[in-house]
Chain A
Amino acid sequence: MPSLFLLLAPLASAQSTLLPDGVETTHFENGLTLHVIPTPTPGVVSWQTWVDVGSKNEVMEGTTGLAHLFEHLMFYGSADLPRQAREDELLRLGVSENAWTWMDETVYTAVVPAASLERVVEIEADRFLNFQVSAEQLQRESGAVYGEYRMSRASAWGMSDEQLYAAAYVHHPYHHPTIGWEADIQAMPTAIEDARDFFAMWYRPERTRIVVSGDVDPLQVKAWVQKSWNSWEVNSETYVVPIEPVATESLRIQVDWSGGPTSPLLLAGYRMPSFDPASTESAAWAVMEELLTGPTAPLRTTLERETGWALDFGGGDPGFTDPHLFVLSVELSEADHLTQVEAAITSELTRWATQPNAAELKTAQEHALRAMRLRLDDPVAVSDLVGRMTRGGAPARVVETFAANYAAVDVDAIAAVAQTMLLASSQATAVLLPPAAPTPPSTNSASTQEQP
């Protein structure tokens, strides 16, 4: 008899699956998708509602940041269960919830005691089907969004990434950051009509996937979802996201940074195709990420251990659903090492483009797949993975297709990726070179004031 807290699936064999038996994917008539993954985690359920609307969908002038604003507004609930009542009930149910927004999606997450799940299904349906927000509530929430915007300005990494994408994508909405441009955020308090239009357009069942992992009976969850979400209506409108013309030359920007002290930063970006979990090409780019940034990748060893040129090194494919950048991020120990670091990256890419090593490749693939399996002992990690992999409408089992493709990537596929990365037209680079540090004031300059 299987015991509790086993891992999801047998691990030892390379042929083993990532997800357990009993995974159910249901496409309801109104277009809503439900993925249920029972995991041996007694009493714990991870609920995630993935809405395929992110900052990429902010195509109307002056509406940047609306997808993220909506992430906030959705916590205001409905007329029947407005914010306070909703929050009070979720509190009693022992639920902790949160949400996040990025380029392609907005995701509402909750960790739920298994005994509370039935009611949570209803509460979650209520806000999606009967969402209601007033102009006054929008005004209040805009302040919190502006606060988040201000926090984001303090991140040298965030600002570098924002400026790199703004330069690399001029037509496609990846041009603007998910948080939005400041002028649009400042205008949010009065943007109630834009917000209502945005919700009506994008928050629709055909753009929504529910992922439930944990201590659940898939058939029971399906019945609950069917009952509560069935009346949600599909939206027949279609839309077109502008296409970015193919780049013909390399791009290089100096990051404009007036914030606090920072190390020099390098973001070496490479234009790559849309992420598709079922495609062999996406799998090859994912393997390339492991070859370049994995825990024992030669490039990492060179930059961090052997030379100390990098204080921190990472990055890879963020998995966006339209063509985007594969970015290697380097925090440099000194600005003087920039040339050496870029040469080391080019050298490693050249090695993979011209002399790909089959044994090294095989080892990296096996390690990465094992590591992925080991991470899936947490139902939240399972929901994250399934949510990310099923954005194109695939069943949850597409995770296995991705793993199989990943394992099958060969030296030719890797060489092709490396050759693409070496093309000048593929490259989009951002460099942040901080100004020289000011001389610290002496401690005598501290002023003191006593309460009268």
Chain B
Amino acid sequence: MIALLAMACIKPTPPGLSPAQERETLHAQVVQELEGSQVIYLQATILAGSAADPIGQEGVAYLTARMLREGGAGARSSAEVDALLSEMAATVQVIVDKDLVTFRGKALASDADRFVPLFTDMLANPAWDVTRFEQLREQSIQRLGTRLLADTESLGDAALDSWLNEGHPYGHTVQGRTGALEVLTLEEAQAFYAKAYVREAVTIGIAGDVAAQGALIEGLMALPVGRRLNPTPRSRPPVEGRALAIIQGSGDSVGWHMGHPIDVDRDHPDYPALLLGLSAFGEHRQSWGTMFQVMRTERGLNYGDYAYLEHYRQVGGSDVQELGTLRLQPQFSMWLRPIQPENAAFALKLALTLVEQLVEDGLDSGHFERMQQSLVKRTQTMARDPGRRLGFAVDAAVMGHPNRLEMGPALQALTLEQVNSALRTHVHPDKLKIVGVAPEPESLLATLFEDSPTPIVYADVTPSPEQDLLDQRVAASSAQLISGVILPAQDLFR
């Protein structure tokens, strides 16, 4: 059985709601002992994400985290660290997001004597290999300057993420800006580390064989006492009306990304209701969503259409959400995957119509009841392995939120009216920033600002009368945009 021996023995405080304090202890710890386990799962999550990048040094938080993992640890060089990890067949992953940096380790318990000190050395005693720093810096510049621009889907996501948070610490990509990266120095990374990696900013987790719990804490107590960086929420630019930005994409189809800031985090009383409502509307890579059914299943417009209550990062090629990516300030968003250019305007207007209907009409009782059963039952399959179970618990402890794995009762207690009320309160179809990535931005922009209809072009599909009625209404509707701009992709991440 899972024994939570010392869950949060230091009471965590919600990072965004209390003043930063200077404490001699770590922020919190999560312990999940699994009797008889031969594996040790470690985690350290630090409030040191890219939102803490100083102005002019955008990218330093990301590079610092990568350097702790890859730049040598203690007396070991970068290569020696890799050799030791390989010898143990152990892994240490680093996940960097806007607010959080997560180090996730896994090894045989029989190697704990070597693995735990290596893990804590990475965090508390980094070796700062300058050659590796330069390689990682070049890699970041290349990723932002080349690879991201060629990846239509990631480009649209990053562009929306930046535009929604313009002027806010979330307003640049996690990897930074190429202009800042070009002049970033190792000394600046070291200075960032000294400020950000203090005991009070660190939450730790250990699962499986937890005999090394003391060594983990002891190792990380080598971090200095200090005041953690202040992540208090800051105001984001208000979204008035529907504003459009189109970026020149390299593919031959059009992707749409849109959203607005939202103040519903996992601690908000409306979180379960909104989670249910948006899962029913468009859960990531699931076919039951209303948008998916209307746009893909019925019309074959594209590969998928989704809606999110939290910024979504997928683990590899799976459909599973990456942990360690929660944000203090979430955002509502929708994503329409690539569409043939002739249907791009129609698809956008259809998605806008559907989200308007969602807010105005809410879910019907059948959809609500199915979604409720699904979410309640899936809480037990979300963590398929002990490392992921630990990850959920640490995310909760860091943020001071309820654990997502323990939301079954709250989801079970929801009523249809609560869900529909939450949708009306928090989702604003009339206030959206919309990003398109398109091969011909000018003509798409012109089409959307013209009053002429934009009928759907079907590939041999004969729509049903009901479908045809909606198609005609959508084609004749206006996207009701208040502004439109074409942005050169090359400048977005400079």
Which A residues fall within an 8 A CB radius of B? 2-7, 10-12, 41-44, 46, 75, 83, 87-88, 91-94, 96, 98, 111-113, 115-116, 136, 139-144, 146-148, 150-151, 153-154, 156, 189-190, 259-263, 294-296, 301, 304-305, 308, 311, 333, 363, 367-368, 370-371, 373-374, 377-380, 440-441, 443, 445-452
The answer to whether A367 and B340 touch (CB under 8 A), given A147-B302, A261-B149, A263-B147, is: no
Report yes or no: A4 in contact with B34, Cβ–Cβ below 8 A: yes
Of the candidates A116, A190, A374, the one having the most CB atoms from chain B within 10 angstroms of its own CB is A374
Name the CB-closest residue of B to A374: B89
The answer to whether A143 and B459 touch (CB under 8 A), given A75-B287, A260-B251, A367-B89, is: yes
**Ranked 3 nearest A-B pairs via Cβ:** A143-B300, A260-B250, A94-B377
- Sample of 23 A–B contacts (CB below 8 Å): A3-B1, A41-B385, A44-B380, A91-B371, A91-B373, A96-B378, A113-B378, A139-B300, A139-B462, A140-B298, A140-B461, A143-B458, A144-B300, A146-B340, A146-B459, A147-B339, A154-B151, A190-B460, A262-B146, A262-B147, A295-B82, A378-B388, A449-B484
Residues of B within 8 A of A441 (CB): 488, 490
Other than the given A261-B149, A450-B482, 5 more pairs (CB < 8 A) read A4-B34, A92-B374, A146-B300, A305-B132, A447-B485
Report yes or no: B87 in contact with A363, Cβ–Cβ below 8 A: yes
| B79 part of interface (Cβ distance < 8 Å) | yes
Name the CB-closest residue of A to B279: A91
Main secondary structure of the interface of B (DSSP, over half): mixed
Which B residues fall within an 8 A CB radius of A? 1-2, 34-39, 78-79, 82-83, 85-91, 106-108, 110, 131-132, 134-135, 138-139, 142, 145-147, 149-153, 208, 249-253, 285-288, 296-303, 319, 337-340, 366, 370-371, 373-374, 376-378, 380-381, 384-388, 442, 445-446, 449, 458-462, 480-488, 490-491
Residues of A within 8 A of B90 (CB): 374
Report yes or no: A451 in contact with B380, Cβ–Cβ below 8 A: no
Residues of B within 8 A of A43 (CB): 380-381
Report yes or no: B252 in contact with A147, Cβ–Cβ below 8 A: no
Report yes or no: B106 in contact with A374, Cβ–Cβ below 8 A: yes
How distant is B406 from chain A, measured CB to nearest CB, in Å?
14
Q: When chains A and B are docked, how far (Å) is the Cα of A111 from the Cα of B320?
A: 11
Report yes or no: B491 in contact with A440, Cβ–Cβ below 8 A: yes
Report yes or no: B153 in contact with A151, Cβ–Cβ below 8 A: yes
Report yes or no: B386 in contact with A377, Cβ–Cβ below 8 A: yes
How distant is A425 from chain B, measured CB to nearest CB, in Å?
34
Report yes or no: A41 in contact with B384, Cβ–Cβ below 8 A: yes
A154 contacts which of B34, B131, B250, B486 (Cβ < 8 Å)? B250
Report yes or no: B449 in contact with A451, Cβ–Cβ below 8 A: yes
Report yes or no: A263 in contact with B146, Cβ–Cβ below 8 A: yes
Residues of A within 8 A of B82 (CB): 295-296
Q: When chains A and B are docked, how far (Å) is the Cα of A378 from the Cα of B145?
A: 36
Name the CB-closest residue of B to A137: B297
Report yes or no: A151 in contact with B251, Cβ–Cβ below 8 A: yes
How distant is B88 from chain A, measured CB to nearest CB, in Å?
8
Report yes or no: A3 in contact with B370, Cβ–Cβ below 8 A: no
Residues of A within 8 A of B107 (CB): 374
The answer to whether A153 and B299 touch (CB under 8 A), given A296-B83, A308-B135, A451-B481, is: no
Residues of A within 8 A of B484 (CB): 448-451
The answer to whether A44 and B381 touch (CB under 8 A), given A142-B459, A333-B142, A448-B483, is: yes
How distant is B194 from chain A, measured CB to nearest CB, in Å?
26
Q: When chains A and B are docked, how far (Å) is the Cα of A305 from the Cα of B286?
A: 40
Residues of B within 8 A of A153 (CB): 251-252
A452 contacts which of B151, B250, B449 (Cβ < 8 Å)? B449
How distant is B21 from chain A, measured CB to nearest CB, in Å?
35
Report yes or no: A295 in contact with B37, Cβ–Cβ below 8 A: no
How distant is B411 from chain A, measured CB to nearest CB, in Å?
11
Q: When chains A and B are docked, how far (Å) is the Cα of A308 from the Cα of B133?
A: 12
A446 contacts which of B83, B285, B340, B488 (Cβ < 8 Å)? B488
Report yes or no: A147 in contact with B34, Cβ–Cβ below 8 A: no
Residues of A within 8 A of B106 (CB): 374
Name the CB-closest residue of A to B369: A92
Q: When chains A and B are docked, how far (Å) is the Cα of A368 from the Cα of B494?
A: 41
Report yes or no: A295 in contact with B85, Cβ–Cβ below 8 A: yes
The answer to whether A151 and B381 touch (CB under 8 A), given A146-B459, A260-B150, is: no
The answer to whether A305 and B78 touch (CB under 8 A), given A91-B371, A189-B459, is: yes
Residues of A within 8 A of B149 (CB): 260-261
The answer to whether A371 and B89 touch (CB under 8 A), given A111-B384, A113-B380, is: yes
How distant is B179 from chain A, measured CB to nearest CB, in Å?
13
Q: When chains A and B are docked, how far (Å) is the Cα of A142 from the Cα of B371?
A: 28
Report yes or no: B87 in contact with A367, Cβ–Cβ below 8 A: yes
A136 contacts which of B288, B461, B488 (Cβ < 8 Å)? B461
Q: When chains A and B are docked, how far (Å) is the Cα of A136 from the Cα of B461?
A: 7
Q: When chains A and B are docked, how far (Å) is the Cα of A91 from the Cα of B488?
A: 42
Q: When chains A and B are docked, how far (Å) is the Cα of A83 from the Cα of B296?
A: 13
